[in-house]
Structure 1
Amino acid sequence: MERAAAEEYRARVRGCLLGGAIGDALGGPVEFDPLAKILGDHPDGVRTFVAGGPGWPPGTVTDDTQMTLFTAEGMIRAGVRNDLGLGFTLAAVHHAYDRWLDTQLLHGPSGERDGWLQNEPWLYARRAPGNTCLTALHESRANQQFGQQANNDSKGCGGVMRVAPIGLLPPGQANPRWTFDAAAEAAGFTHGHPTGKLASGALAVLIRYLVEGQDLSTAVEKTLALLGEYPGHEETSRAIVAAREAPPQAIEQLGGGWVAEEALAIGLYAALAHPGPDEMLDALALAVTHSGDSDSTGAICGNILGALHGETALPQALVQGVEGRDTICRLADDLIAEFSSDKHEHDSERIRLYPGS
C-alpha cells in the first residue's frame, strides 16, 4: 500500500473506532431518558460530554465501546493464529468476548487471562451491559463452546453495536460477502435472531465500502443490494430504507434503537442527515438525542462517519475528552499492523484468510 493510501486507511480505522467511542460517550448518560427531558436539558441536542451519575464522569464510554474493542482484539488474535499456520477463526473473537465478560464480573485484572486489553483497569466499569450478552457468554463459558452460535431468539442491538472492526480490514484484503458473513457470525455469538445477525452484517459491510473510499450514498446502495441476497433480510432492509427516506426531525419514527435494525437505522439516519466532514458533531448530536438506546445509536453513527471521513473530522474537544483514547488508538494501530498488505505481501497463504479476496 503506497504511503498516501496507507495514511488515509489509518485515519479511517482510527476515525471509526474513536468516532464510535465518542458517540457512545455522548449518548450513554441520556440513555433511557425521554426526548422531552433530553431537549429540556440540551435544547440543541447533546453536543458535549456530560456526567451519567456518580462514578460516571463526562466522556465515559459504555459496554458498546468495551465490546467493540474486544472485537478488534479478537480479530487481531485471529490474524496472528493465521500467521502461525493455525488458520483464521472467528472463535478468537468469541474468546475475546469471554475476556470482556471477566471485566463485568471482576473488580480488576486477575492476572490469569491472556491479552493486554483485559489488563486495562478502566474497562472493568459496568455501564449497563446487556443481559443477553451476559447470559449468552455465561452459557458459552460454561460449555466451553467458543465459536458456536447463541441459543436464543434475541435481536437486541448488543450485536450490531460492536461489529464495526470487522469492516476495517485493509482494502482488497476482505471481500464484501466475507465481511458481511463474519460480522453476522460474530453477532450470533450472543444474539440468535436472524435480524440481529443481518443488521450486524449490514453495518460491517457498509463500513467496508466506506474504508474502500465509496461515498456514503453509494455504500448504502451496495449494502442494500448485498443484504437483499440473504433470506430474511426484509426487516433490516426496510429499516435501512426508512433511514434513507425519513424526513427531517423524524428520528423517533425509526424506533428506539433497542433492537438491531432500529439501532442501525437511527445511526445511519443521523449520518445521512449530516454527511459532511464539518457536520460530524451535528450528526452525533442527532444520533443520541432521542427516547431510546442513545449510546448504541451514537456509537453506530460515529463508526460510520469516522470510517467515512477519518479521525481528523472528529470534534477535537471530544477526541481529547473521551475515555480510553490512547488505548483505542493503540488497538487501531495494532489492527492495521496485523492486517497490513505489506506484512502479507509475500505470503501466498493469505488467501486462506478471506476466501474470494
Structure 2
Amino acid sequence: MESELSDLEKKLRGYLFGSACGDALGRPVEHLTLERIKAKYGEKGLLELLPDSPWTDDTQLMLVLARALVLGAEREPSELMGLLAGEFVKWLDEPDLGAGATSKGAALRLKEGVHWQDSGIESKTCGSLMRVGIVGFIYRNDPDKLLEVASLSGKITHSHPTSDAASIAGAYAVKLALDGMEPLDMFCPLLKVTGGISEEFTNALKVAYELAFGDMSDEEALREIGQGWYAEETFALAYFCMLRYPDDYKKALQIAVNITGDSDSVGCVAGGVLGARLGIGSVPPAWVEALEGKAELEAMVGPLLEKYFEVSDHISEVRGS
C-alpha cells in the first residue's frame, strides 16, 4: 500500500500542479497572437513561469469540481451532480479569474433555481474540458462511472455534443495517463470512448494525431489545428503537444502555450495529462514554487487521495459480491 500510495500521490500532484502550472504559464499570452508573443518574449516565446504567477478560471473550476467529488464521488451520479450544482453557485462569489460566458451563465441559471439537467448552454467552448481531468483520477478504476460523470459534469455548463466529447476525452486521458499509457497509445481508446458523439471532435483528434507524425514544424501544425477557443481544438492542440513531447513536460508546455489562441486552456489540459503520467517530478520545481495559490492545491491532495481509495474500495466490494 505504501508504494502504491507514494506513486499515486506523485501522479496526483503531477496532475494538480501540472495543470495549474500550464494554466498559469499560458495566462499572460492568452489572446495574444504568436507574433506579439514573440515580440514580447523572444523568438521562442514565453518559456518560464514568473514569480507569483496566478492561475485562471481553468484551475479555479477544476477545484470547484474537485470539491464536489470530495463531498460525494461515491454517490449516484445524479446525486453528485446536485452537489456540483451547489459548488457552482458558491463559485459565483469567488474572484472572477476570467470565466467564460457559458460557465458563468450556467452557474447563474443554477442560482436562479434551474435544475442541473437543464442548466447547460449549447456552447462548444472548452470550459467543461479544462476542469474535467480530476474525474479521471477519482474514477480511474471505474471507467463506466468515469465516462458518465465526465459527461454529466460537463453538460451542467456546456450541452453541445462537441464539448461533451471533449469532456469525456479529457477525463479518460487522465485515467490512461495514470495507468502509464503513452500518448501515442491513447489514440484508439480516446476514439472509442468518444465515438459517435461529435464528428468534429473525432476529426480534430485524427488531425492532431496525423500532424504529430508529419513533417510540419510545431508552429505550423498548431496553426493548422486551430486556436483552441472551441473544445475540439483545445483537446487536439494539447494532444498534439503530448504526442510530440511525451516524456518532456516542460517542452510540451512551452509549445502548448505559445500559440495564437487559448493558451492557458491548452496548457492546462496538456499539463494535467502529462503531469498525471510522468508525476510531479516532471514539473519544473521552479514553476511549482512560482505558482501563486499552491497551498490551495496542496490542501486538496489528502482529501482527493482519501476519496480515490474510498471509491476504489467500493468498486472492489461491488465486484466481489
TM-score (norm 2): 0.90
Matches within 5 A, 1:1-357: 2-42=1-41, 43-50=43-50, 58-79=52-73, 82=75, 89-103=80-94, 124=95, 126-145=96-115, 147-169=116-138, 171-172=140-141, 174-175=142-143, 177-228=144-195, 231-246=196-211, 247-249=216-218, 250-276=221-247, 279-340=248-309, 345=313, 351=318
C-alpha displacement at 1:275, in angstroms?
0.9
For residues 292 and 225 of structure 1, the distance between their equivalents in structure 2, rounded to whole angstroms, comes to 28
For residues 298 and 86 of structure 1, the distance between their equivalents in structure 2, rounded to whole angstroms, comes to 29
Give CA deviations for 1:33-77 in whole Å, capped at 9, x if unaligned.
011011122222321124xxxxxx751101001001111111111
Go from structure 1 to structure 2 and tell me whether the alpha carbon gap of 1:37 and 1:192 turns closer, same or farther (over 3 Å shift): same
Counterpart in the other structure of 1:111: none
For residues 217 and 88 of structure 1, the distance between their equivalents in structure 2, rounded to whole angstroms, comes to 36
Identity of aligned residues (%): 28
| 8 Å contact from structure 2 (residues 77, 148) kept in 1 | no
Give CA deviations for 1:252-292 in whole Å, capped at 9, x if unaligned.
1111110111111111111111111xx21111111100110
Go from structure 1 to structure 2 and tell me whether the alpha carbon gap of 1:141 and 1:337 turns closer, same or farther (over 3 Å shift): same
Question: For residue 258 of structure 1, what is the amino acid of its counterpart?
Answer: W
Question: For residue 257 of structure 1, what is the amino acid of its counterpart?
Answer: G
For residues 44 and 179 of structure 1, the distance between their equivalents in structure 2, rounded to whole angstroms, comes to 38
Go from structure 1 to structure 2 and tell me whether the alpha carbon gap of 1:67 and 1:29 turns closer, same or farther (over 3 Å shift): same
Give CA deviations for 1:91-138 in whole Å, capped at 9, x if unaligned.
2222222221221xxxxxxxxxxxxxxxxxxxx2x2221111111110
How many pairs were matched up? 314
Go from structure 1 to structure 2 and tell me whether the alpha carbon gap of 1:199 and 1:318 turns closer, same or farther (over 3 Å shift): same
RMSD, matched Cα = 2.4
Go from structure 1 to structure 2 and tell me whether the alpha carbon gap of 1:168 and 1:150 turns closer, same or farther (over 3 Å shift): same
In structure 2, the gaps of 5 or more residues are none
Poorly superposed stretches of 4+, deviation over 3 Å: 85-88, 347-351
C-alpha displacement at 1:185, in angstroms?
1.1
Go from structure 1 to structure 2 and tell me whether the alpha carbon gap of 1:348 and 1:211 turns closer, same or farther (over 3 Å shift): closer
- Between 1:10-19 and 1:241-250, the stretch displaced more is 241-250
TM-score (norm 1): 0.82
Go from structure 1 to structure 2 and tell me whether the alpha carbon gap of 1:263 and 1:86 turns closer, same or farther (over 3 Å shift): closer
| 8 Å contact from structure 2 (residues 68, 80) kept in 1 | no
C-alpha displacement at 1:86, in angstroms?
11
**Structure with greater proportional helix content:** 2
For residues 77 and 129 of structure 2, the distance between their equivalents in structure 1, rounded to whole angstroms, comes to 28
| 8 Å contact from structure 1 (residues 12, 309) kept in 2 | yes
| 8 Å contact from structure 2 (residues 133, 170) kept in 1 | yes
For residues 78 and 235 of structure 2, the distance between their equivalents in structure 1, rounded to whole angstroms, comes to 31
Question: For residue 232 of structure 1, what is the amino acid of its counterpart?
Answer: I
SS at match of 2:93: helix
| 8 Å contact from structure 1 (residues 150, 189) kept in 2 | yes
| 8 Å contact from structure 2 (residues 137, 308) kept in 1 | no
| 8 Å contact from structure 2 (residues 139, 146) kept in 1 | no
SS at match of 1:287: helix
For residues 312 and 14 of structure 2, the distance between their equivalents in structure 1, rounded to whole angstroms, comes to 24
In structure 1, the gaps of 5 or more residues are 51-56, 104-123
For residues 152 and 20 of structure 1, the distance between their equivalents in structure 2, rounded to whole angstroms, comes to 25
For residues 37 and 20 of structure 1, the distance between their equivalents in structure 2, rounded to whole angstroms, comes to 24
For residues 52 and 77 of structure 2, the distance between their equivalents in structure 1, rounded to whole angstroms, comes to 43
SS at match of 1:162: coil
